[in-house]
Every structure is written in structure tokens, then in C-alpha cells.
């Protein structure tokens, strides 16, 4: 033990003795460990931590399947049957998003609420911090106007006032009494601002809020949650649900045709697609750390050459190999811990920026930060680094033959040390190439994605969401929207205004099934309800037929406009104008196609357009709409406050929600890709710089060792360019080997990010070539500087005899 203390003291003295070396080492390690720690803190919370509910690994998300493919929602009737027939779940609950206009005094606000079954809170195992949750008795007509507030809304809107419980608030123009407040960060989705019950127990249908939903079997809009009984395995639960699903399919051959049931652990549902992204980023940042370690190992190797004499003397004095190893490793571990300490500070600073960059899937984990596990991780990472980069130099130094050093000074094993250092540099170049290729592929994918024509003109478009309570009748709603449209259109600086039920890239979608006369086939398409001016405002081209017109509103003919994708899918090679769509939706409407418009990328720029059917607002209704306003000036956001006043002048209880420009929506829709691209690009850049520094170090060392040789060559007539070429050639050989190794490795590795690419193959030769050229150019510089130094050697050194 006292030996260790002595080693530790000696290590500190060594660090003080060479401050430059210590500085470079600590900075390199701080960067590597800091970045790794920051990424790990995200991985820790998102992937490794259980969700903040008691026994959260027992909670699952249940959903209908269609033809064996899992969906995300379920119909009320199916939900009720599952709940009644299963024996594997301790509890089940259903919910649906319930956006509401909250108004207290003169501050209306649109909030993201949820309508739930009373079992919702007990299923998640969360108790209110104030008042109570929802009870069975609340879910009955007459008792159902109670609301439980989320912590965030309670703080923001009610100032955290404990007296809020018991008060009445206006939601969608009706009185609700506040019965409780839930703790912070409680919600499996982002609709956790408030919760209300349904008078029928199960949440009502958004488009038919006044109807008893319990018999709806072909309208799937519920999110269904369940908690597995303690002794039940997921396999058992799956088997039983399968049986129930098949039974229901037989029992309801029309509504439940090809419908089954499946579930997903809640954690997987919440974390979703972000898992592979995070794992790739973690792998990338670990590679950066390894490259940093290789650099430090290189510095240590160079130093080992200098310290050979000291070590020889220690050996001569009887130090055992183990003793020497321990001392050398203590030195490197102390260095690593120091680097890790600074790295931790860096991580503390970096994590907020990382979160700011990150997509909502990550940001929903509010607890991300430096906690005890992250601390332990960075401590462990530091120690492992210290051993990784210290072991090879220590082994080499402790192996050196003392007589060699004492007798011959520099000669002997120097060539061998040079080889180890070269191998390290080749590895660094290779690994950084892998990261660069990955980053290159993501950057190129992103560029391709941004080149995708979304099907509309996103410039100068302001969009927002307005909604009247769904309890208002159709005529009131239509009158409201019509008034709002007229007032908005009259605003100065507004080119045109349109409204639509589902705006592209704003999230959310709805579908309907339909048939075509003469074809025995069920089709399905996305459904939109829009105003006449919507297409013109968005710049969506009319390809055939006509637009909606005012006169359609008075007509008994239900008109529809379909997109090009539907026309091609359903009417290939035929003229769809005048054709009918029958059995449309649950009400079995018949629609007549009057026009065909261009395709729009609704789900995402990277998702091919689906078939779409547009109905005219007025002939069909929708509880809330997105308004799109095209501005005459380049700054569309300047219209915001005028738009708000215009809406308020129609109804002072209706707030604007989700106010965003279309460009923002596009940016948001690619946020996850931008996040992974940016991070990987940063890591690849750092890796490349570290590799270049490593190369620079090795070449500088080599030039210093070859000073005499260079002098001799000059005395024999080598010109400066000859010397530069000599050194650069030596270095570029290493680079070339690194690039070759990296290319082979990349070909194997890029498969891992194939799922993150768009419009480009994982082996895109242009990216591979471009990255190799970039790395080659940077490496050339790292070579050129020491080579220049080599070329300035005074040929007189050839004459000097030491």
C-alpha cells in the first residue's frame, strides 16, 4: 500500500516535471472522456433507466394488429373485450389525446390534455401530489366534469397555487372542477397537461364526442395500456392475447377482419427508434475516446524512449518487472483520472447543449444529467483509459534491456518503438475514416432529404392550430371557421389563407377505408378536410379536374379531391374525375371525385406519399384545424399577433396553438436526423483532428530522429523538396494503410447505420472516396509541417561528429 502511495507521489512529480506533456494528455483525455460521459448520460437515462413508474417493466402498450402488423391504437369495443376476457393483466387503461381550450379570465390557452379511463393513474402507480386522481364514479354522465392537472400546467397557468384544487376552470367553454394535481414528469406521452374522464368510462371519439363509444369496433383511436400480473411472463400474455384476438375476429368477421392484438413493453414504446441512433453515437464517441487514448499512448511511447535510461537504472537496482509496470501504470491512470475530472466538467457544460440539439424523443427524459451512475461511468472510463493507453508503453519500457540503454544510449530498440507508434497511427487514421464515412453518409442523406420536394411551397407560410370544443355543433363550428378565414384573409400582408384537418409534417394522421364500385376490394387512404383555398395557399398543384368551390357547400353531392398517389393506385390508366368512392368511413358515405392534386409528404420528407382523400370543410367537419397563411413578406411570423387578434375577435375563448412557420415544421420533422448527423459529424471531426495530431506527433518524432540522416542526404545533394517528399512519403504510407484498413472496416460497419440513411447506399462509393480524399488532405498537412521542419535541417549536421 505504501508502495502505491509512493508510486502516486512519483506520478505527480513526473507530471509536474513535464507540464507540456501533461497538458496535452489531460486535454485530449478530457475531450474524449467528456464527450463519452455526455453521450453516456443520455444513454443512461433513455436506455438503461427504468421509466419513472413503480415496476415499470410490467407496463405494456397494447394495440390492434392488422394482418399481423402491429398498429398503435385500438377501438373502444375491442378494448372493452380485451379487458373483460384476459387473465394476464392486473389492470388495463385507455386514453386518447384531448386537446382543449383552457380559459380562466382573459388568458385562453390551448393545452394538451388526455381523456382517460379511471384506471389510468393506478395502472401507472402514480399518486397525485394534491387532491385525488380519477375514480370510477367520475366516469359517469353528470360526474364527468372533473379534471386532474399536470404539474407543469399547474405551475405555469395556476402559479402552483395549492388552492387550485376545488376551483372551477373553463375547458372548451364548459365548467370543470379541479380535483387533483399530479407530480412532475408523469405521462407516457406528451399529452400530460391535464386529464379528464369520459361519461361512458372509455374515452369518446374525437369526431363524435357526444356518442356512446362503447359499441365502436371499427374506429381505432384509443391508446391502450396494461400492467402484467406479477407472475405472468410476456410470452404467456402474448399467447392469451392471441387467442382473444382470434376469438374476436371470428365473432365480428366484418369489423375485426384481419385484426388481432399485440403489445410492446412501455419502455420500448417510449424510446422507440431512438435506440439505434443512441447506440451508434455511443459507439462513435467511444471510438473518439480510443483515438485519444492512442494519441496519449504515442506520447507515452515517445517519452518511454527518453525515460529508458531511468528505467534501466531502476532495473539495474533490482526493480522487478511487475514493480515497474505498476509504477508506470499508476502514472498513466493518474493522468487519465485528471483528464476524466476535467472531462466531467466538460460534460456538465456540454449536456445542456446536447439536449438543446436533441429530438423530443430524448428531451422527454427530463432527468438527463450527471447522476451517480454517470459519475461512476466516467470514473471507470478514466481508469480503463489509463490502462489502455498506459499498458503498451509500460510493457515496452519495462521490457527494455538495461544494458542496451546504459551502453548504447539511443540505439537498439528505437526502430521497434517507431513501429508500435506507426501501428497506432494507422489504427487512428482507420478508425477516424470509419467515423468520417458514417458522418459523410448521414450528411449526404440529410442533403438528399432536404432536396426532397415536399409537394408544397414552404416559404412564407405561417401555420397554427385553432379548435372549437367538439361539443359545439357542426353549424357553429363551420360558422366559426368561415369567420376566422375571412378575417385572416382581410389582414394586410396576407396573400391567402387555407385550413386543413391534418397539416403535412405537423404530426398526426387519420385514415378511412373505402370501396370503388365494380371492384371487390377494400382500399384505405389518409383523410383530410380542407377549405377551398388550402391548395392555393400551400402551393399544392391541381393536376386534373377542379378545386372545391363555394357552391359545393350547398350541394347534396359529397365531393372529394384525391392526390396523385390515390389516382395511380385506385384508377391506374383511367381518368378518376367523376368516379365514386363508396362505403367511405364508418358512415358509409359516397364521395365523387372532382379533382386530383399533387402528392404531399405528410408523415415525413423521407416517407413516400400515401393515398389521400380531401373533403371540403363544411361538407365534413373536424374538431380542430390547422390554418396556413401565406405572407406577402419574407417574415411570416410577423403575422402572429394580428392573427391572434383576428381569431379572438371571432371568439375570445379560442387560443392559437402550435404557432410555427412551415420551415420550422420541416426543420422539426428532420430533427432526429439532424441530431445524429451533427453529433456524428462532430465526433468524426474530432476523430480526424486527433488522428492528424497523432500523425503529426509521430512524424515530428521521426523527423527529429532522422535529423542526422536528413543532413547527410542534403550533403549528398538532396534539395529541400527531396527532403519534404522523403518525410511526406513515409507519413502518407501510414495514412494510406490507415485509409485502406478504415475502408474495409467501414464497409462492415456502415450496415449499422443503414437504417439512418436516406436516398443513398451504405457503401456509396462517392462518399467513401470523398472522405478518403478529405482525410488524405488533412493527413498531408499533418505530414507536411514536420517535413518542412525536416527540410530546414542544416546540412552541416552531417559533418558534426558526436
- Closer to other proteins by Cβ: residue 414 or 509: 414
Strand partners, 260: 65
- Does residue 142 interact with other proteins by CB under 8 A? no
Exactly one of 27, 355, 406, 798 binds other proteins (CB under 8 A); that residue is 798
d(CA 569, CA 40): 46
- Closer to other proteins by Cβ: residue 543 or 716: 716
Q: How big is the site for other proteins, counted in residues (CB under 8 A)?
A: 17
Element of type H or E holding 594: strand 589-597
Backbone angles phi, psi at 605, to 5 degrees: -60, -25
- Closer to other proteins by Cβ: residue 69 or 796: 796
User: Which span sits near other proteins by CB under 8 A: 154-162, 499-507, 610-618, 710-718?
Assistant: 710-718
User: Which span sits near other proteins by CB under 8 A: 112-120, 203-211, 539-547, 793-801?
Assistant: 793-801
Residues 219-258 contacting other proteins, CB under 8 A: none
The answer to whether residues 33 and 343 touch, using CB atoms and an 8 Å cutoff, is yes
Backbone angles phi, psi at 82, to 5 degrees: -55, -45
- Does residue 419 interact with other proteins by CB under 8 A? no
- Does residue 68 interact with other proteins by CB under 8 A? no
- Closer to other proteins by Cβ: residue 483 or 722: 722
User: Which span sits near other proteins by CB under 8 A: 4-12, 153-161, 590-598, 715-723?
Assistant: 715-723
- Does residue 715 interact with other proteins by CB under 8 A? yes
- Does residue 712 interact with other proteins by CB under 8 A? yes
Element of type H or E holding 627: strand 624-631
The answer to whether residues 649 and 487 touch, using CB atoms and an 8 Å cutoff, is yes
Nearest approach, Cβ of residue 713 and other proteins (Å): 7
Backbone angles phi, psi at 8, to 5 degrees: -65, -45
The per-residue DSSP string of 295-355 comes to HHHHHHHHHHHHHHHHHHHHHHTT--HHHHHHHHHHHHHHHHHHHHHHHHHHHHHHHHHHH
- Does residue 474 interact with other proteins by CB under 8 A? no
- Does residue 708 interact with other proteins by CB under 8 A? yes
* Nearest Cα to Cα of residue 85 among 248, 219, 321, 244: 244
- Does residue 799 interact with other proteins by CB under 8 A? yes
Nearest approach, Cβ of residue 339 and other proteins (Å): 36
- In the numeric block, which cell numbers belong to residue 93? 387503461
- Does residue 725 interact with other proteins by CB under 8 A? no
Q: Is 93 helix (H, G, I), strand (E, B) or coil?
A: strand
- In the numeric block, which cell numbers belong to residue 555? 350541394
Q: What is the 3-state secondary structure (H, E, C) of 436-470?
A: HHHHHHHHHHHHHHHHCCCCCCCCCEEEEEEECCC
Q: Is 516 helix (H, G, I), strand (E, B) or coil?
A: strand
**Cβ burial, residue 41 (10 Å; 0-12/13-18/19+):** buried
The answer to whether residues 317 and 436 touch, using CB atoms and an 8 Å cutoff, is no
Nearest approach, Cβ of residue 694 and other proteins (Å): 23
- Closer to other proteins by Cβ: residue 47 or 798: 798
**Cβ burial, residue 2 (10 Å; 0-12/13-18/19+):** exposed
- Does residue 404 interact with other proteins by CB under 8 A? no
- Does residue 495 interact with other proteins by CB under 8 A? no
- In the numeric block, which cell numbers belong to residue 101? 381550450
* Nearest Cα to Cα of residue 258 among 11, 93, 483, 71: 71
Exactly one of 167, 321, 719, 729 binds other proteins (CB under 8 A); that residue is 719
Exactly one of 12, 208, 406, 718 binds other proteins (CB under 8 A); that residue is 718
- Does residue 795 interact with other proteins by CB under 8 A? yes
Strand partners, 60: 226, 265
**Cβ burial, residue 722 (10 Å; 0-12/13-18/19+):** middle
- Does residue 720 interact with other proteins by CB under 8 A? yes
- Does residue 777 interact with other proteins by CB under 8 A? no
Mask for 736-775, x = binds other proteins (CB under 8 A): ----------------------------------------
- Does residue 733 interact with other proteins by CB under 8 A? no
CB-based contacts of 268, cutoff 8 Å, min separation 6: none
Nearest approach, Cβ of residue 302 and other proteins (Å): 19
- Closer to other proteins by Cβ: residue 212 or 722: 722
Residues 195-214 contacting other proteins, CB under 8 A: none
* Nearest Cα to Cα of residue 114 among 223, 240, 271: 223
d(CA 59, CA 97): 19
- Closer to other proteins by Cβ: residue 43 or 726: 726
- Does residue 457 interact with other proteins by CB under 8 A? no
- Does residue 729 interact with other proteins by CB under 8 A? no
User: Which span sits near other proteins by CB under 8 A: 194-202, 373-381, 626-634, 716-724?
Assistant: 716-724
- Closer to other proteins by Cβ: residue 518 or 717: 717
User: Which span sits near other proteins by CB under 8 A: 142-150, 544-552, 553-561, 791-799?
Assistant: 791-799
Exactly one of 373, 384, 709, 759 binds other proteins (CB under 8 A); that residue is 709
d(CA 77, CA 201): 12
User: Which span sits near other proteins by CB under 8 A: 70-78, 420-428, 538-546, 794-802?
Assistant: 794-802
Nearest approach, Cβ of residue 418 and other proteins (Å): 11
Nearest approach, Cβ of residue 33 and other proteins (Å): 39
User: Which span sits near other proteins by CB under 8 A: 129-137, 390-398, 499-507, 709-717?
Assistant: 709-717
User: Which span sits near other proteins by CB under 8 A: 6-14, 484-492, 719-727, 781-789?
Assistant: 719-727
Nearest approach, Cβ of residue 708 and other proteins (Å): 8
The per-residue DSSP string of 672-719 comes to HHHHHHHHHHHHHHHHHHHHHHHHHHHHHHHHHHTHHHHHHHHHTT--
Q: Is 201 helix (H, G, I), strand (E, B) or coil?
A: coil
Nearest approach, Cβ of residue 412 and other proteins (Å): 11
Nearest approach, Cβ of residue 419 and other proteins (Å): 13
- Does residue 722 interact with other proteins by CB under 8 A? yes
- Does residue 704 interact with other proteins by CB under 8 A? no
Site residues for other proteins per CB under 8 A: 708-709, 712-720, 722, 795-796, 798-799, 801
Amino acid at each position: 500500500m505504501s508502495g502505491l502511495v509512493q508510486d502516486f507521489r512519483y506520478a505527480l512529480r513526473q507530471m509536474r516535471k513535464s507540464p507540456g506533456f501533461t497538458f496535452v494528455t489531460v486535454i485530449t483525455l478530457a475531450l474524449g472522456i467528456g464527450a463519452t460521459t455526455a453521450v453516456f448520460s443520455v444513454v443512461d437515462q433513455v436506455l438503461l433507466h427504468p421509466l419513472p413508474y413503480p415496476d415499470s417493466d410490467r407496463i405494456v402498450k397494447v394495440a390492434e394488429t392488422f394482418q399481423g402488423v402491429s398498429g398503435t391504437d385500438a377501438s373502444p369495443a375491442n378494448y372493452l373485450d380485451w379487458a373483460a376476457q384476459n387473465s394476464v393483466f392486473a389492470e388495463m387503461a385507455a386514453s386518447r389525446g384531448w386537446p382543449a381550450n383552457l380559459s380562466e379570465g382573459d388568458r385562453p390557452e390551448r393545452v394538451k390534455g388526455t381523456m382517460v379511463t379511471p384506471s389510468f393513474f393506478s395502472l401507472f402507480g402514480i399518486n397525485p401530489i394534491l387532491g385525488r386522481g380519477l375514480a370510477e364514479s367520475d366516469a359517469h354522465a353528470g360526474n364527468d366534469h372533473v379534471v386532474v392537472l399536470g404539474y407543469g400546467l399547474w405551475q405555469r397557468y395556476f402559479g402552483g397555487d395549492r388552492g387550485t384544487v376545488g376551483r372551477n376552470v373553463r375547458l372548451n367553454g364548459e365548467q370543470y372542477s379541479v380535483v387533483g394535481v399530479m407530480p412532475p414528469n408523469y405521462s407516457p406521452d406528451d399529452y400530460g397537461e391535464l386529464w379528464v374522464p369520459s361519461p361512458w368510462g372509455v374515452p369518446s371519439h374525437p369526431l363524435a364526442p357526444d356518442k356512446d363509444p362503447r359499441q365502436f369496433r371499427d374506429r381505432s383511436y384509443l391508446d391502450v395500456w396494461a400492467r402484467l400480473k406479477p407472475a405472468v411472463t410476456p410470452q404467456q400474455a402474448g399467447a392469451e392475447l392471441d387467442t382473444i384476438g382470434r376469438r374476436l375476429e371470428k365473432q365480428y368477421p366484418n369489423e375485426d377482419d384481419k385484426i388481432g392484438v399485440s403489445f410492446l413493453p412501455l419502455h420500448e414504446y417510449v424510446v422507440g427508434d431512438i435506440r439505434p441512433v443512441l447506440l451508434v453515437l455511443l459507439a462513435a464517441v467511444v471510438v473518439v475516446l480510443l483515438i485519444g487514448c492512442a494519441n496519449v499512448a504515442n506520447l507515452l511511447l515517445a517519452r518511454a524512449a527518453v525515460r529508458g535510461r531511468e528505467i534501466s537504472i531502476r532495473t539495474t537496482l533490482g526493480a522487478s518487472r511487475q514493480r515497474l509496470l505498476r509504477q508506470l501504470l499508476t502514472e498513466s491512470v493518474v493522468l487519465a483520472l485528471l483528464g476524466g475530472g476535467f472531462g466531467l466538467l466538460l460534460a456538465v457544460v456540454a449536456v445542456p447543449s446536447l439536449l438543446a440539439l436533441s429530438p423530443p424523443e430524448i428531451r422527454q427524459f427530463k432527468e438527463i444529467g450527471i447522476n451517480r451512475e454517470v459519475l461512476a461511468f466516467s470514473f471507470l472510463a478514466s481508469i480503463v483509459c489509463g490502462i489502455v493507453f498506459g499498458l503498451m508503453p509500460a510493457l515496452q519500457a519495462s521490457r527494455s534491456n538495461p544494458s542496451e540503454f546504459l551502453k548504447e544510449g539511443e540505439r537498439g530498440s528505437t526502430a521497434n518503438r517507431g513501429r508500435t507508434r506507426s501501428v497506432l497511427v494507422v489504427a487512428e487514421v482507420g478508425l477516424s475514416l470509419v467515423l468520417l464515412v458514417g458522418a459523410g453518409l448521414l450528411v449526404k442523406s440529410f442533403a438528399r432529404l432536404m432536396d426532397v420536394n415536399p409537394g408544397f411551397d414552404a416559404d412564407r407560410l405561417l401555420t397554427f392550430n385553432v379548435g372549437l370544443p367538439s361539443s359545439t355543433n357542426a353549424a357553429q363550428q363551420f360558422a366559426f371557421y368561415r369567420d376566422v378565414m375571412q378575417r385572416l384573409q382581410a389582414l394586410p400582408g396576407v396573400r391567402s389563407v387555407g385550413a386543413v384537418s391534418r397539416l403535412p409534417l405537423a404530426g398526426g394522421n387519420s385514415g378511412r377505408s373505402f370501396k370503388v364500385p365494380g371492384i371487390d376490394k377494400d382500399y384505405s387512404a389518409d383523410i383530410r378536410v380542407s377549405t377551398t383555398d388550402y391548395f392555393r395557399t400551400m402551393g399544392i398543384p391541381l393536376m386534373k379536374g377542379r378545386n372545391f368551390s363555394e357552391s359545393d357547400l350547398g350541394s347534396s353531392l359529397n365531393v372529394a379531391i384525391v392526390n396523385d398517389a390515390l389516382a395511380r393506385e385506385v384508377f391506374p390508366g383511367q381518368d378518376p374525375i367523376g368516379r365514386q368512392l363508396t362505403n367511405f368511413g364508418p358512415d358509409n358515405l359516397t364521395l365523387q371525385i372532382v379533382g386530383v392534386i399533387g402528392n404531399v409528404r405528410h408523415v415525413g420528407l423521407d416517407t413516400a406519399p400515401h393515398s389521400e382523400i380531401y373533403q371540403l370543410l363544411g361538407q365534413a367537419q373536424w374538431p380542430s384545424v390547422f390554418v396556413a397563411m401565406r405572407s406577402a413578406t419574407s417574415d411570416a411570423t410577423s403575422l402572429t399577433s394580428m392573427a391572434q387578434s383576428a381569431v379572438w375577435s371571432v371568439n375570445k375563448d379560442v387560443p392559437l396553438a402550435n404557432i410555427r412557420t412551415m420551415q420550422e415544421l420541416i426543420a422539426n420533422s428532420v430533427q432526429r436526423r439532424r441530431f445524429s448527423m451533427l453529433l456524428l459529424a462532430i465526433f468524426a471531426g474530432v476523430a480526424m483532428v486527433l488522428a492528424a495530431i497523432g500523425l503529426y506527433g509521430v512524424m515530428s518524432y521521426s523527423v527529429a530522429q532522422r535529423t542526422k540522416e536528413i543532413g547527410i542526404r542534403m550533403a549528398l545533394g538532396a534539395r529541400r523538396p527531396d527532403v519534404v517528399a522523403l518525410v511526406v512519403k513515409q507519413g502518407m504510407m501510414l495514412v494510406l494503410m490507415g485509409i485502406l484498413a478504415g475502408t474495409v472496416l467501414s464497409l462492415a460497419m456502415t450496415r449499422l447505420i443503414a437504417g439512418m440513411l436516406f436516398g443513398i447506399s451504405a457503401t456509396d462509393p462517392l462518399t467513401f472516396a470523398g472522405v478518403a480524399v478529405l482525410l488524405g488532405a488533412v493527413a498531408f498537412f499533418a505530414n507536411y509541417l514536420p517535413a518542412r521542419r525536416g527540410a530546414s535541417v542544416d546540412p552541416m549536421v552531417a559533418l558534426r561528429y558526436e
